[in-house]
Amino acid sequence: MVTDTEITVYHRPATLTDLGTHYCPGCTHGIAHRLVAEVIDEMGLRETTIGVASVGCSVFAYNYFDFDFVQAPHGRAPAMATGIKRVLSDRIVFTYQGDGDLASIGMGEIVAAAGRGENITVIFINNANYGMTGGQMAPTTLPGMKTTSSPNGRDVESQGYPIRTAELLATQEGAGYIVRRSLHDPKNIRLAKKAIRLAFETQVRGLGFSLVELLSSCPTNWGMDPVDALRWIEQNMIPYFPINDFKVHPVIASLRI
């Protein structure tokens, strides 16, 4: 049926500021930001949410969200989020961290926060390298993957193995919701959004620590065009970092959203 009036079916989330991002073309940070903003909008959390930005490409995440935000030292976002959440227990506190920040320099803080069952949400961007400093090896860099600090490819004999963060944190009793998703195609993006929603639902219900690991592309540092980079996630990252639910609190598992 043809109508005379146009109906907006897709719009910018209210909590995503009207600002062009500084991210490289084809980078999936923009998608992750949008998904977080959509969830905050849908849950009506704009006035009660405080975000914690980390160090890395997403250091300026606070520019793109229209709610209170603070910016943490490298790796310390979970500790800073703890400080906020413990004095404002009725607010929604989340960190937005990359893999260098969370899984390398901040491994102590993230494991401790999960262990304490800190009632915060973590959006964890895994793009297998240090993006902001120009593509160095990260704890998530795949075996054999070339980076600017593993020019011959990551040699697991001397440089060790990639860390599977979600699996590691899911071993913690204090964790309420730990999953991995990917941003490489529309179907997976929809699944990622649902996971982000459930992570925030976990916090709203006070069910403990929640984390969504998002496999993300870094076309610039990977030396690929955006489409190839998305394919590379599917073909190379997912086999090592499987998309899965590693821990889901029964209350969340039974939730129908």
Partner 1 sequence: MVKELLKGNIAIAEAAVRAGLQAYFGYPITPQTELLEYLSKRMPELGRTFVQAESELGAINMVYGAACTGVRVMSSSSSPGISLMMEGLSYIAGTELPVVLIDVMRGGPGLGNIAPSQQDYNQIVHGGGHGDYYPIVLAPANIQEAIDLTVLAFDLAEKYRSIVIVLLDGSLGQMMEPAELPPMQPLRESYPEWATRGAIGRERRIHTSIYLNPVEQEKTNLRILQRWQEVKKNEVRYKSYFLEDAEYVVIGFGTAGRVALSAVRAARAEGNKVGLLRPVTLAPFPAQQIEALAGSSKGILVVEMNSGQMLDDVMACVKGRTPVHFYGRPGGIVPLPDEVLVEIHRMTEKSGRLNGHPRDQWLERMVQHI
Residues 18-77 contacting partner 1, CB under 8 A: 46-50, 52-53, 59-60, 62, 65-73, 76
Closer Cβ to partner 1, 46 or 194, answer by number? 46
Q: Quick one: which of 24, 41, 83, 159 contacts partner 1 (CB under 8 A)?
A: 83
105-113, 129-137, 149-157, 243-251 -> range binding partner 1 (CB under 8 A): 105-113
**Binding to partner 1 (CB under 8 A): which residues in 186-245?**
none
Neighbours of 86 (CB within 10 A): 13
Q: Which is nearer to partner 1, 36 or 189 (CB)?
A: 36
Query: Which stretch, 30-38, 80-88, 188-196, 210-218, contacts partner 1 (CB under 8 A)?
Result: 80-88
Contact status: 81 vs partner 1 (CB under 8 A):
yes
Q: Which is nearer to partner 1, 68 or 167 (CB)?
A: 68
Q: Which residues contribute to the site for partner 1 (CB under 8 A)?
A: 46-50, 52-53, 59-60, 62, 65-73, 76, 79-88, 91, 108-109, 111-112, 116
